[in-house]
Structures are given as C-alpha cells and as structure tokens.
Structure 1
Amino acid sequence: MPGSSSSLVRLHKVLAEAGIGSRRRCEEIIQEGRVEVDGSFVTELGTSVDPAKQEILVDGQRIRVRRKQYFILNKPVGVVSTNFDQAGRTRVIDLVPQDERLFTIGRLDRQSEGLIIITNDGELANHLAHPRYGVAKTYHVEVAGALAVEEIKMIQSGVYIADGFVKAESCRLKRKLGKSSILEIVLREGKNREIRRLLAKVGHKVLRLKRISIGPLKLGDVPAGSFRELKPSEVKALRESSDASAAKGAPKRKLMPRRATSTSPDSRRTKKTTSKGAAYRGGKKKKSKRKSDQQPAPIESRRGEGRAVKQKQASKKKQMRRK
C-alpha cells in the first residue's frame, strides 16, 4: 500500500479516530468485511494504511479522517488546565477555538503559567503526559529568600510529601533578586503541585512558576494567552523524545516508609527488653520450669517405686529376726 512507513497507521486506529467506534469494535467491523481501502475489501487485522492518501470506506461510506493538530500555548495565570470546570472559569482549551476534541498536555495549576501543548492526538498526549515515559519538563521558579547549597541538594535528592517521594531531575540557581531567588528545575514526573510542595518542604514559598519547555519543545516568544501551531519537525522531535524516554525508563517511584506500630511487622521484629534490661531476640524469653509446671511421673513408674520400698523394708525385718 502507498505511503512511507512513518505515515502508515493501523486501520482499526484510523477508524476509531474517525469516530466509527472503539478500537475493539473497529477490529470486529474489519473482520466482518465491511471496510474497503482503495476499492478492495480488507478483513485482515493489523493492516496499515495512509489515511491522507488512501480512500477508506465503511459500509460504502467514506470516513472523515481527522487531521492531527498540535498547538503550543502560553498559559496565563488564572486560567485552568482542566477540560471540565464546574465553576465556569476560563479553560486552556477556550483559548484555542476549534471544533475538534482537544487534549491538554502538561497541566499547570491555576497560579502557574507557561508552556502547554494542545492536540487531538490522544496517543501523543498519553506519551508526553504519562509518568512512565518520563519526558523532561523545565521550569523557571521564583522563590522567597535565598537557597543554601544544602537545600538545593535536598531538592535533587528528594523528600517525602503526603502522596509519596518526590525529587527534581536537576535544580540550579539562575540568579538572586534581592529578597528572592530564581531557580531552574527539571522534573520527569508531575504530581499535583509538585514543585510548590517540594519547595515548601525545604522552607521556601513559590512566588512565580513558569514552564519553559516540554522535552525538546521550548516556549520561546509566544505571548501569554496566545498559541501557535507546531511545525512537523517539532511534532517529530516530541515523538522521538517520548520514545527515547520510554526506552531509558521512567524514574522509579519511592513509597512513603511505614511507621512502626504495635501491630506492624516492624514493631514485631524490634528487639524487646526484659525487666532486667537484657535484650533477647524474637520477643520470647526463656522461662525456667517451675515445679508446678513439671509433668507428673507416669502411674506405672510410681507403682514400681512403691514396690521397691516395700521390698527394702521387708528385707530389713528379716535381718532383725535373724539377730
């Protein structure tokens, strides 16, 4: 079939993206012999097509192939990243007027600003946003006060917050501004308000937070509240970045250490101490047997002992009579 290997897509994915049904349902439709590609019926799963160059019909009707769209937007402070906001606040997707269903990649909280990617490409959105791919995201952060070298090292080595272990891939001081400092922080996974909580843990309040890049894509000179469409070369670089990060492996997550309680395994393994202060292992103290705890002798053995005593007494009486 025509098309370069880079432009070929699995047929069932093309049908799903055109709104025919779920991917599983589209596979069933293909096997039922209801799909034509360039005038020929296709029933084999795994068939790849070039939707931009080939004619695809389902039940005799040509499908509408959605053109993939990719935008870079400079999110201003006060705009929310979520697509569904019950409070009716301005959303990021409201700044990009489109009829298509769009996804936001790289959410920022309402007080933060900077680079967000907007697309209708769900697969790329998943690759760039999911922690397992570990795509680097760079931020410029203004914090109150001056950071000591030890605090920067702590940010890079990691700290525990309410929902687990967090750390920066890198953290460096860009410059000092009187009573505040500008940091450049790189993350590979994004928990909710991670940078704010990470810096609060080392005693510094975030005054301003701006994301300047996601992978190889940089914000550049896009004005706040404005957007532009990505170039094909930028989209390709983003894909390659997510693939490289997936091959390298996302950073391993550390869990919160469990506190030892009276019922926890840790507390049961802890050495206990006797009343005299001597430690013994396993929490078990060897007890000396008391007489009351000793098992009584069997009845037969007691009877045997009685007969022996009687025999001894009888022999003594015989000796006395002889005298």
Structure 2
Amino acid sequence: MRLDKVLADRGLGTRSEIKKILRQGQVTLHGQVVLKADLQINTADLPYICYRGEKIDFYAKTVFLLNKPAGVLSMPEAEGVPCALDYLPPAYRSRKFSCVGRLDKYSEGLLLITNDGELIHRLTQPKWKIRKLYYVDFEPEMSSTAAQLVQTEFAQGINLGDFVTLAAEFHRLNSTSAEITVQEGKFHQVRRMLSACGYTVKRLLRLQEGPLALQDMAVGAVRQLDEAEIASLYAEVQLTRTD
C-alpha cells in the first residue's frame, strides 16, 4: 500500500496534508526520513513508521457521532477552549481522530469524528454529493411567497462569489424556520446561502449527513457507530474498508 494512504487511513490527515507532512521530513521509516508519498509499504514495515519521532499506533478504524453543542469548536484551536474531540471517550482522545468537515462554533448537531483519513477525504469532497440536512431559525420573517423564491434560488444554485453551490433544497416550516438540504459542505455555506437571499441565520442545527441521522441524541452525547452504520458510510462513497 502507498505510504500516504497508510498514513491517511490512520488519521494523520488528508492526502494533501500527508504530502505536506512528508515534505517537512516529519515521517521516518526504519529511522530514515521518507519524502515520497507513493512509497510502497508492506505489513512488515508498519511497526517502523514514526511521525515526529513517535511510532504510529495502527489501531482499527472507527467512527463516532457527536451531537455538538453550540459554543464548541470542531477542532482544537486554543488551550482551554472546548472542542469536539473532548467529547470522545478518554481512551480515544490521544489518538489521531479528526472531524468529518466542520460545524462552526455557533452551529449545533451531527458531527462525525473518525481516524480514517480516506473516509474523511471522500465524505468532504463535493464530487460525492453527500446530502446534509439542517434545521435553521432565521430573521426577518419569510412569507410563503418569498419562500417560493428562495426555494427556486436554492434549486438553481447560488453564486457566493468564490463558488456556485450545487442544487439545494429549501423547505419553509414557518415564517422564521426551515429545513435545508445541501450536497456539499463549504465554510459557512448554509449561512451564506440564506444571507444571499436576504436572511440571517439565528440557529443552525445539522440533523443528518448521508445515511446517518441525529435522531434523539442528547446535546453533548457521543456514540460509536456500529458496523452496519460504518458500512453504510463506506458504501455512500464507494470505499472498501481495509481493517
């Protein structure tokens, strides 16, 4: 197997992040710095791969689902500021886990966390069109007539300047709330889409990503996905599990 895939599978980062790590000379094999991402690795080599001088723990891939509270960062940025990884069981917090995409500090709801770099890569790539369902509260009030216009704009794709969104779904629940489904997950995308239509998001809650739904999990609760749920994620992006 290629070295970059081995490292990505163990949660060291995406393929592009792995290449940067290698260029910086942070990975060694049998004590020698390795720079080539396409270096072929076999099972006998695994115990001798080190990152920043420490042996990589080749533990099984797994996925957690967190109901992220508002005010919590998706990834650590500053000491003392709570992040999603703090909610993992203690035995997993020191391992190479990352979030699948990100919810901003003030957004809530379903957030996947895994040590499978290739799964992260595919679930966050727009080419796979992973559907994400959100509940939003917004202002000002929206009439049913205005909602039809917003629905049309979402379906056609909205030009946000740096990119044009894929077709999205907008379903008005009442004058100040709606459910929105997008097929990609760019930075602040849902907030920016509503802003482009003249509305400000007051609350943003992710309810579903791909085949997985938040259901009735308490805020701040985290659970490890079972084998059937993990298999459904892999199937969604046509990925074969290699544990």
Counterpart of 2:135 in structure 1 is 140
d(CA) in 2 for partners of 1:189, 1:108? 13
Q: Is the contact between residue 97 and residue 114 of structure 2 (CA under 8 Å) also seen in structure 1? A: yes
Structure 2 vs 1, CA of residues 141 and 167 (structure 1 numbering), >3 Å: closer, same or farther? farther
Q: Secondary structure of the residue that 2:135 maps to in structure 1? A: strand
Structure 2 vs 1, CA of residues 26 and 216 (structure 1 numbering), >3 Å: closer, same or farther? same
Counterpart of 1:93 in structure 2 is 85
Counterpart of 2:122 in structure 1 is 127
Larger CA Rg, structure 1 vs 2:
1
d(CA) in 2 for partners of 1:68, 1:172? 36
d(CA) in 1 for partners of 2:136, 2:167? 13
d(CA) in 1 for partners of 2:118, 2:188? 25
Aligned-residue offset at 1:160: 2.1
Counterpart of 1:71 in structure 2 is 64
Q: Is the contact between residue 3 and residue 40 of structure 2 (CA under 8 Å) also seen in structure 1? A: no
Structural RMSD (CA): 3.0
Aligned pairs, how many? 205
Counterpart of 1:154 in structure 2 is 153
Question: Structure 1, unaligned stretches of length 5 or more?
Answer: 1-9, 37-55, 245-323
Q: Percent identity?
A: 30
d(CA) in 2 for partners of 1:172, 1:70? 30
Aligned-residue offset at 1:190: 1.7
Residue correspondence of structure 1 range 1-323 to structure 2 within 5 A: 10=1, 16=7, 21=29, 24=36, 27=39, 30=42, 35=44, 65-83=58-76, 85-86=77-78, 88-96=80-88, 97=90, 98=92, 99-144=94-139, 145-147=141-143, 148=146, 149-173=148-172, 175-176=173-174, 180-243=175-238
Counterpart of 2:18 in structure 1 is none
Q: Secondary structure of the residue that 2:104 maps to in structure 1? A: coil
Question: Structure 2, unaligned stretches of length 5 or more?
Answer: 11-26, 50-55
Relative contact order, higher structure (CA 8 A, sep 6+): 2
d(CA) in 1 for partners of 2:37, 2:189? 39
> 1:32-86: CA deviations, max 9, x gaps?
xx938xxxxxxxxxxxxxxxxxxx8769xxx963121210000100001123x13
Q: Is the contact between residue 131 and residue 209 of structure 2 (CA under 8 Å) also seen in structure 1? A: yes
The letter for the 1-side match of 2:73 is V
d(CA) in 1 for partners of 2:3, 2:191? 42
Structure 2 vs 1, CA of residues 123 and 200 (structure 1 numbering), >3 Å: closer, same or farther? same
TM-score (norm 1): 0.56
